[in-house]
């Protein structure tokens, strides 16, 4: 199974916590040839997708990658193409998904480019309103102010943020409320999310990884004492967590949609039993959950990729 990973430069990976590295390492362990490139290395010639890609072999110790040759490769020569570029989800990211749609049908692209492009990680939670807290999406300042008056506290955040960037907790009596709204909406030019604050965030933001719509592990990201955000980028600590009945209800509800959309590797966020995000661009958490639960999620992902490959019999 010859594999290409479209990703950030390998020099910038945080090996101690990176999920893409684990997928690459497991691929090497199976004897699969591995290559990598960045989105800027993708191009189209003759109506088909190509990349300027480098072959690598992953190893467990520093320097972690034994780097090989670099050359132009038509993406149809790969069995698997993994889109693992981290956000921001900007126009360059969107354009990369268009290029990846030029890959021939005999190559499996994960996650499906059209679904990554259309599946906004915050907005699509609202496809399941019974799983979410009361949410307003608007650029109108006064509408948000009125919404704030409905609850003791609310959260406001950008629709395209990641890693906890721009997530603010506020209330109707906050003298900075209007100013915060103006900043996040860029003076009313950009819509933002306003949601009822979930007080259980102090206990942790649960990340659940789903493989082909099935939950395979979870962890809690517990905010530090001086920050309300349950994001590791914001200093949250990681703790073991099991799936409870509500988590399983959420996964059972959204799992069939994820499978239908070709979203093999997904990380959802659940706070106090409420679904807050469905992460499909470059979900992470493999290494943390592996350590806490004694599992090997990268093996489950590659097994699923083999099973879903258009030539599954030959690939196996």
Cα distances (angstroms) measured from residue 253 to each of 89, 247, 249: 26, 10, 6
Q: Which of 279, 288, 290, 298 is catalytic?
A: 279
Note if 277 is an active site residue. yes
Note if 67 is an active site residue. no
| ω into 63 cis (within 30 of 0) | yes
Q: Which of 84, 85, 112, 157 is catalytic?
A: 157
Note if 279 is an active site residue. yes
Note if 221 is an active site residue. yes
Q: Which of 84, 122, 196, 206 is catalytic?
A: 122
Q: Which of 25, 102, 117, 221 is catalytic?
A: 221
Q: Which of 25, 196, 206, 229 is catalytic?
A: 229
Note if 229 is an active site residue. yes
Closest to 143 measured CA to CA, from 199, 197, 192:
192
- Residue 250 CB partners (closer than 8 Å, separation 6+): 128, 131, 208, 268, 270, 275
Q: What is the 3-state secondary structure (H, E, C) of the chain?
A: CCEEEECCCHHHCCCCCCHHHHHHHHHHHCCCCEEEECHHHEEEECCEEEEEEEEEEECCCCCCEEEEEEEEEEHHHCCEEEECCCCCCCHHHHHHHHHHCCCCCCCEEECCHHHHHHCCCCHHHHHCHHHCCCEEEECCHHHHHHHHCCCCCEEEEECCCCCCCCCEEECCCCCCHHHHHHHHCCCCCCCEEEEECCHHHHHCEEEEEEECCEEEEEEEEECCCCCCCCCHHHCCEEEECCCCHHHHHHHHHHHHHHHHCCCCEEEEEEECCEEEEEECCCCCCHHHHHHHHCCCHHHHHHHHHHHHCCCHHHHC
Note if 102 is an active site residue. no
Cα distances (angstroms) measured from residue 16 to each of 58, 286, 291: 14, 11, 11
Q: Which of 18, 269, 288, 298 is catalytic?
A: 269
Note if 72 is an active site residue. no
Which residues are catalytically annotated? Answer: 122, 157, 207, 221, 229, 269, 277, 279
């Amino acid at each position: 199974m010859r594999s290409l990973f479209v990703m950030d430069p390998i020099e910038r990976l945080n090996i101690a916590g990176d999920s893409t590295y684990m997928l690459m390492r497991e691929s090497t362990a199976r004897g699969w040839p591995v290559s990598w490139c960045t989105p800027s290395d993708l191009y189209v010639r003759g109506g088909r997708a190509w990349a300027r890609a480098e072959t690598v072999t992953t190893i467990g110790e520093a320097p972690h990658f034994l780097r090989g040759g670099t050359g132009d490769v038509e993406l149809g020569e790969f069995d698997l193409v993994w889109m693992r570029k981290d956000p921001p989800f900007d126009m360059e990211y969107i354009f990369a998904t268009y290029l990846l749609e030029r890959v021939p049908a005999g190559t499996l692209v994960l996650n499906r480019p059209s679904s990554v492009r259309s599946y906004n990680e915050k907005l699509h939670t609202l496809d399941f309103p019974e799983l979410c807290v009361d949410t307003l999406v608007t650029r109108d300042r006064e509408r948000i102010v009125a919404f704030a008056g409905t609850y003791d506290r609310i959260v406001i955040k950008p629709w395209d943020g990641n890693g906890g960037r721009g997530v603010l907790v506020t209330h109707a009596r906050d003298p900075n409320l209007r100013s915060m709204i103006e900043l996040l909406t860029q003076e009313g030019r950009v819509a933002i999310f306003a949601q009822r604050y979930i007080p259980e965030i102090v206990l942790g933001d649960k990340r659940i990884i789903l493989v082909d719509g099935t939950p395979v592990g979870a962890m809690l990201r517990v905010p530090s004492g001086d920050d309300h955000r349950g994001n590791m980028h914001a200093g949250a600590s990681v703790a073991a967590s099991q799936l409870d009945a509500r988590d399983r209800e959420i996964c059972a509800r959204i799992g069939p949609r994820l499978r239908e959309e070709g979203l093999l590797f997904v990380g959802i966020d659940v706070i106090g039993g409420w679904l807050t995000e469905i992460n499909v661009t470059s979900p992470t958490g493999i290494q943390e959950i592996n350590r806490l639960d004694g599992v090997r999620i990268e093996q489950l992902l590659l097994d699923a990729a083999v099973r879903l490959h258009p030539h599954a019999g030959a690939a196996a």
